[in-house]
Amino acid sequence: MSEAVHPHQQASNLWTSKMAFILAAAGSAVGLGNIWKFPYITGENGGGAFVLVYLACIFLIGVPVLIAEIMIGRRGGQSPVASMRTLTRTEGTSKGWRIIGWNGVLASFLVLSFYAVIGGWALVYIGKAAVGMFVGADAEAIGGQFNNLLANPWELLFWHTVFMGIVVFIVGKGIRSGLEKAVNMLMPLLFVLLIVMVFYAMNSGSFDRAVSFMFSPDFSRLTTEGVLTALGHAAFTLSIGIGVLMAYGSYLPKNINIARTAMTIAVLDTSVALLAGLAIFPLVFANGLEAGAGPGLIFVTLPLAFGQMGGGVVFGAIFFALLLVAAITSGISMLEPVVEWLEEHKGASRVKSAVGGGVAVWLIGIGTVLSFNLWSDIHPLGFISMFEEKTVFDLLDFLVSNLMMPLGGLAIALFAGWAIRREGLAEDIGLQGGAYKAFMVVLKFVTPAGIAVVFLYNLV
């Protein structure tokens, strides 16, 4: 394929600075997983001990794959599919490795299809909080609001459409005018909103209890399942294995140190998760609510807290705006691999690729919308015992989170650790001497073993 077809490495198509790439990649990693999922799984698994294990998993499992995926993307300089085709040829490896690229594009496509529906919930809840719909409401009333939202396919479809429209608009404007401008504005806004929420939580009266819960480890409360949950979430939260970082890496200038950049991304991502916990748990404890409330923590438990606290109208709206910003920065990253592929393989313009990819994602997302109401009793693979109770949404979530992401991460670690030739790899990654040797040991042995354990556990 000629350079004219995939001009990713032309100066006009590269990130303008290392910080722009860091914000974009961190924006991809920072999403609903940090602000919605991390607090409730921390609550379910006992707090401090879980957080310690999670942090260890981030840097032993997540970061090595993060480095490898960015490196592969920059070396290939194209979409995940084309990059893997090029690298298997230039490295003289089996064509079978090309499945990494296809897995990434398909996984990001499927994730965004249901992610956009949940992003639409955040849009709804900004309005609900701002007009005071939570004020004075009891748990039954707030739970009823959430259930009524899920039961209304037309309302879910409308907000799913609005969210996808925002994502398509940003991605369609390109790397510098779209993605880069968006993350340069949205990521600082996200941190400002998050810090505002933490300061608000500090005045709730239960901040010390929240700090103790999150950072005083009690290993008696940590189960084997909790350890594996931490391991799985460490891989999920960094967006590894779904082609996003490979796509973003294809626009990365050659003079940027990948290892240092990846560490910065991991630190930013982890900081957001921890700050989200510090923003949420004080409100939960101050209102006598349950920290391990599960997925309903954000859309049922927290609105109850906001409805009972002074300033809850304003800070409730701020919190759901924060959730929306995180969802958008992740959403635009998930559409990018699809758009890259359409540009290269179909010869479509950036705008047509964004619209075409976005419409396809939107159509698949209708299945998720309906799985909460009209199709709630439909189980597409119900004839298989492990899928017999799974709706369209449950099935997509399981396939991506439990199969495609871990297999993608595992394949990336094995490809980078064992298949790529060593010449120039240390320089390409940005590590030398003992640091490089230690990294390679972790990438070749520790990381694949950890991912394989999570993968097998999720299938049992």
Over residues 402-412, the pLDDT tens digits come to 888 889 999 99
- pLDDT for the residue 9: 53
Q: Report how far apart the first and last C-alpha atoms of the chain are (Å, whole number).
A: 43
Residue 228 banded pLDDT, cuts 50, 70, 90: confident
- What are the b/e assignments for 150-171, b being 16+ CB within 10 Å? beebeebbebbbebbebbbbbb
- pLDDT for the residue 329: 93
Give me the mean pLDDT over the 393-421 stretch.
91
Nearest to 317 by CA among 119, 124, 142: 124
Residue 295 banded pLDDT, cuts 50, 70, 90: low
Residue 397 banded pLDDT, cuts 50, 70, 90: confident
Give me the mean pLDDT over the 274-295 stretch.
81
d(CA 169, CA 216): 44
Beta carbons of 323 and 298 less than 8 angstroms apart: yes
- pLDDT for the residue 32: 76
Give me the mean pLDDT over the 216-241 stretch.
84
User: Which residues have C-beta within 8 Å of that of residue 433, sequence separation ≥ 6?
Assistant: none
3-class SS at 457?
helix
d(CA 30, CA 35): 8
Q: Using the predicted structure, report yes or no on whether residue 3 has a pLDDT greater than 50.
A: no
Residue 292 banded pLDDT, cuts 50, 70, 90: low
Q: Using the predicted structure, report yes or no on whether residue 117 has a pLDDT greater than 70.
A: yes
User: Which domains can be identified in the chain, with CATH numbers?
Assistant: 18-458 (1.10.4160)
Strands (E), 266-402: none
- Tokens standing for 248? 């973003």
- pLDDT for the residue 5: 39
Over residues 163-196, the pLDDT tens digits come to 999 999 999 998 888 889 999 999 999 999 999 9
Over residues 432-450, the pLDDT tens digits come to 999 999 999 999 999 999 8
Give the amino acid at 66. L
- What are the b/e assignments for 233-267, b being 16+ CB within 10 Å? bbbbbbbbbbbbbbbbbbbbeeebebbebbbbbbe
d(CA 375, CA 73): 39
User: Average model confidence (pLDDT) for the chain?
Assistant: 89
For residues 297 and 276, which has the higher predicted lDDT (pLDDT)?
Answer: 276
Give the amino acid at 300. V
Over residues 334-373, the pLDDT tens digits come to 999 999 999 988 888 999 999 999 999 999 999 999 999 9
Residue found under tokens 């594996």: 228
Give me the mean pLDDT over the 98-114 stretch.
95
Give me the mean pLDDT over the 91-116 stretch.
95
Neighbours of 231 (CB within 10 A): 24
Residue found under tokens 């691999």: 337
Over residues 121-179, the pLDDT tens digits come to 999 999 999 999 999 888 889 989 999 999 999 999 999 999 999 999 999 998 888 88
Residues in the chain: 460
- Tokens standing for 153? 């396919």
- pLDDT for the residue 2: 36
User: Distances from the Cα of 22 to the Cαs of 134, 258, 395, in angstroms?
Assistant: 37, 10, 32
